[in-house]
Each structure stands twice: as structure tokens, then as C-alpha cells.
Chains A and B, each alone.
Chain A
Amino acid sequence: MYDLIGLAAGVCFILALKGLSHPKTARRGNLIGALGATIATLVVFAYNAPLNNLGWIIGAIAVGSLIGVPAARKVQMTQMPQLVALFNGVGGGAAALVAIVEYLALGDGASTAVVIFTVFTVVVGCVSFSGSIITFLKLQELMTTRPVVFPGGRFVIAATLAAVLGVSGWVVVELGTTPLLILAALSLLFGVLFVLPVGGADVPIVISLLNAFTGLTVAASGYVLDSTLLIIAGTLVGASGTILTRLMADAMGRSLFGTLFGAFTAKPQDASAAGEERPVRSGSPDDVAILLNYARRVVIVPGFGLAVAQAQHTVRELADLMISKGIDVAYGIHPVAGRMPGHMNVLLAEANVPYDQLAEMDEVNPTFGQTDVAIVIGANDVVNPAAQTTPGCPIYGMPILEVSNAANVIFLKRSMRPGFAGIENELLYDPKTMLLFGDAKASLTKVVSALKAL
């Protein structure tokens, strides 16, 4: 009976993933997933009733809810990717802890198969936990977003991996708490080393991969705990997460292999290119307004900087004003504009930008030749021609918005700082480029009032 209800929860998860794959059903899909999780949780209470340590269990769930719900409710939409990373990390940590506790409880009674799955859960769960923390720190910009590579780094990583495997073998053969804790510590270290060399632009792919990892640990702990539901749910997430990781890598034009093993191939960064002073053409809001006033077609390319400055509403005001002057306006949305695939669509939807003005990359690229002005707001990497012209640069091969084909390019930037991927953008020095420095919202507000006055 309880197994049947557990199966119902498993079916809910399948329907949830299915629903989440289509825009129309996405929200319902998520709710079905939540329903499945609720069923699963209630069943475990009923099946094992009366639970030992019931007070502790309910208290812990209450504490978790009090932390999780407000975090999810209050987070700025711009900071959502790192929150997802953090949620994923704690899930991995929880799986590792579950495996450790079960191991302590079983003691010598554990079969070899159970020990192997326990080891797997502890290793991958810990990697997922510490790796996700690093991705969080990178996305929150609490640490550098550039790849962190140190001399001999690849040997340190290889040695750590070898140690993880060696200690795993030790745990399986010797059975002991101490080796298992050493294993957990080494795995945490490996997670950190694994993610450090990943460049900022690749972080979403890594989050997705770690998400799949956590799924697999949940499946493995399902074996240890003899829970079919955990096996089903974990495997589903592991499999769909793997596919999703590949889809994301494709959308960004990145090789999955290159992203993952960047640690083994990346060379220490060449700092000589930085610090070079080159002339750029900067303009005033009035210059921008004049340029826009005489344009027939304008493409707005929003990037993460727009979101940071909370300028979605101002940019819509500018677009509406231009449309009222008879100018043809479109938003060119790069698939990975923002921090994750689809992130920018979410942000602009929040500002009530009409969907028919949002053009996807493939749609908008052929039109840049007939575009008078391309306004790039707080974006950099997604319009960087280096992705097409400089083999060997970290974003080479990533599809970009070809704004350099427009007659004029306006960049709204806070400073000359390079983008998230940490690469110099040649387009900034192009003679047809005009830069407008300052906070995106403040700059746009000035442009709007200048354009109104014309």
C-alpha cells in the first residue's frame, strides 16, 4: 500500500519534469512536483509511525522551512541562479549526511554493495556540496569570476582525485568511521578544486552538472535505505540533469568536455593584455538621444548589468518612447543573457515588456545589417566578436549577437571592466561604438528625458 503511494509520488515527479519542459504547462508541472514531494514526505511519516525522535524531526523540518521559504521568496530575481546553486549544494550535503548516518548505524552489518553505494553517495554528495558553494561565491561575486588556475593545479587536482579513489577503496575493504570521514573531507576538497578553474561564463553548466550529481547521490542513497522512491526520483533528476547540462552547453556553444576538464588544460592567465590604455569614444546622454531620434530601427541588447541596475522598467519606457516616434524597436535576447539560459526572459517579463518585442538570437542576427543603432545595456560577453574571431579565447565558439553589423553601437557600461568571462571586448574600441558610462538606470533615465526634449 505504502509502496503504491510512493509510486504515485514517483509518477508525480515524471509529470513534473514533463510539464516543466513546456512553457504552457511549466507552472503546473512544478506544482505537481511539489505535490509529489509532499506525498512522499507524508508517506514516510505514516509508514514508520510512530517515528522515533519525532520532535526532532518536526523541529528540523520547521527550521529548514523557516530558512528556505523566506530565502526563496525574498531573493532578487537577478540573484536567483546562485540561490538555485545553494539549494542544490545543501541537497548534496543532506544526501552525504544521510549516507554517513546510515553507515554509522549499520556498522559491521553492512553488505559490500551497501558500502559501495554509501561511498558513492558520500563522495559525490560532498563534491556537489562544496562545488555548489564555490559556484555560489562566484555568481555572488564574493570571489573572482575568472578561472582560478595556479601552477601545478592540475597535479593537485589529479592527486586529490587519486586520493579520493584510494580512500574509497580503503573504506570498502576496511570498514571504519575514520576512513569515511577522511573520504568526506577529501571529497569536499576535490569539489572546491574541481570548480575553481571554471570560468564565470561556464558556471551555469557546472551548476546543472552538480544538480545531476546530487540526483545520482539521492538514487544511491535510495539503494542504501531500500527506498524505491528515492531511486526513482534521484535517477530521474540525474538523467534529465545530464541531458539538460548538454543542452545548456550546446546553447552556449561550449564543449561539455572542455568545461569540465578545463582544470586539466587551462593555462595560467596571461596578464600582459590588461592595463593597456586604448582610446575609446564616450558620449553624453544627449548624443545618444540624437542618434536614436534619427534612427529607423533600434535593437536593444539587455545584459546582466541591466538587471543589476534594476533598469528593466526604464528601458521599457525608452522603448515605448521610441515606438511612439515611429522607430522600429526590438530586444535582442541572447539565450544566456543574464547568468543562465532564459534568465533575461524572466527579468524582462517581470518588467511587463511585451513578448512580441523580444527577439531570439537567430531571429535578430540577420537584421543587424538593417539596424541603425544597437544599444547594448550591461552586456559584454554575448556581443564580443572575439567569440568568432579569436580561437583559443575562453568564449570562442559561443554564438553571439552580431551587433557589430549595426551602423552604430552604443554601450551602456559602468566602467571599462571586462565582462563576466573576463575577456577584453574589441568592439568597445571600434570607431562606430559610443560608450555611455554610468549606472544603467541613471543613464537611461537621462537618455529618456533628452529624447523627450528633442
Chain B
Amino acid sequence: MDAMAIVSIFVLAVFVGFEVVSKVSSTLHTPLMSGANAIHGVILVGAIIVADHSKTTLELSLSVVAIILATINMIGGFVVTDRMLEMFKGNKKGADK
């Protein structure tokens, strides 16, 4: 991919990232952080790609560890965020904000 395309994607993603969370109440800071945390668990995709490339035992074992860690990050992250948000069910005060 050419450098300009990558820079464009990067800059646009930065602005989108800034924009979507700029007005969040402090009540949601923890779930939002946890949710963002789960999203970067998508490094799992990267871990799978390198595992696919792996030719030596060393590479494969490191990739396997990376996949395990990334899966914990991603799946665990989404599950724990959901549990947090479950507590907000029927939150009337929050809903009118």
C-alpha cells in the first residue's frame, strides 16, 4: 500500500477517534475504556497472519502465545464490558442525558 494512502487512513482515523468520544459523561469512562481495550484485541488478526507465515518452531511458538494473549484481550474485553453495561439496564437517569 502506498504511503499516502496509509497516512490518509491514519489521519482520518485519528479525527474519527477524537470525535466519537469527545462528549462522554464520566459515568461511562470505565466501560468506554474497557470497550476500546477489547477493540484493540483485534491484533488477533495480526497474530493469525504471522502464525500462518511461521516457518520455524520459534516463530510458531511465539505466534501461538500471541494468539492466546490477543484472544484473552479481545473476548475477555468484550465479555467484561458487557457485564459492566448490564448493570446500567433500565438506567432512567442516564437515558435522558
Task: List A residues at the B interface (Cβ < 8 Å).
Answer: 9, 13-14, 16-18, 20-24, 26-27, 29-31, 33-34, 36-37, 40-41, 43-45, 48, 51-53, 56-57, 59-61, 63-65, 67-69, 71-73, 75, 77, 80-81, 83-84, 87-88, 90-91, 93-95, 97-98, 100-102, 104-105, 113, 207-208, 211, 214-215, 217-219, 221-223, 225-244, 247-248, 251, 335-336, 340-343, 345-347, 349-350, 355-356, 358
Number of A-B contacts (CB under 8 A): 388
A231 and B13 form a contact (CB under 8 A): yes
The answer to whether A244 and B43 touch (CB under 8 A), given A21-B20, A26-B85, A84-B34, is no
B24 and A244 form a contact (CB under 8 A): yes
B39 and A57 form a contact (CB under 8 A): no
Question: B-side binding surface: helix, strand, loop or mixed?
Answer: helix
- With A and B bound together, what is the CA distance between A24 and B45 in angstroms? 30
A94 and B54 form a contact (CB under 8 A): no
- Least CB distance, A23 to chain B, in whole angstroms: 3
A227 and B79 form a contact (CB under 8 A): no
Contact pick for A84, options B18, B33, B60, B68, CB 8 Å: B33
Question: A-side binding surface: helix, strand, loop or mixed?
Answer: helix
In order of increasing CB-CB distance, the 5 nearest A-B pairs are A64-B71, A239-B17, A68-B76, A23-B94, A235-B13
- By beta carbon, the residue of chain B nearest A248 is B29
List of A residues within 8 angstroms of B24 by Cβ: 20-22, 244, 247
Task: List B residues at the A interface (Cβ < 8 Å).
Answer: 1, 3, 6, 9-10, 13-18, 20-56, 58-60, 62-89, 91-95, 97
A37 and B29 form a contact (CB under 8 A): no
- By beta carbon, the residue of chain A nearest B95 is A24
Contact pick for A64, options B3, B16, B70, CB 8 Å: B70
Q: A33-B35, A94-B46 are in contact. List 9 more A-B contacts (CB 8 A).
A: A14-B20, A17-B35, A23-B91, A30-B82, A73-B79, A90-B72, A94-B67, A102-B50, A223-B6
- With A and B bound together, what is the CA distance between A298 and B36 in angstroms? 38
- With A and B bound together, what is the CA distance between A235 and B24 in angstroms? 19
- Least CB distance, A217 to chain B, in whole angstroms: 8
Contact pick for A26, options B20, B31, B80, CB 8 Å: B31
List of B residues within 8 angstroms of A244 by Cβ: 21, 24, 29, 32-33, 36
A208 and B17 form a contact (CB under 8 A): no
A91 and B31 form a contact (CB under 8 A): no
List of B residues within 8 angstroms of A341 by Cβ: 26-27, 29-30
| Contact sample, A vs B, 9 pairs, CB 8 Å cutoff | A37-B78, A40-B42, A65-B75, A75-B80, A98-B43, A211-B40, A247-B29, A335-B26, A347-B87
Of the listed residues B16, B29, B46, B60, the one surrounded by the most CB atoms of chain A closer than 10 A to its CB is B46
List of B residues within 8 angstroms of A57 by Cβ: 48, 51-52, 64, 67
- With A and B bound together, what is the CA distance between A343 and B33 in angstroms? 12
- With A and B bound together, what is the CA distance between A77 and B51 in angstroms? 35
Contact pick for B59, options A64, A104, A236, CB 8 Å: A104
List of A residues within 8 angstroms of B18 by Cβ: 239-240, 242-243
List of A residues within 8 angstroms of B64 by Cβ: 56-57, 59-60
B54 and A72 form a contact (CB under 8 A): no
- Least CB distance, A336 to chain B, in whole angstroms: 8
A30 and B45 form a contact (CB under 8 A): no
B52 and A69 form a contact (CB under 8 A): no
A65 and B46 form a contact (CB under 8 A): no
Contact pick for B31, options A94, A230, A243, A342, CB 8 Å: A342
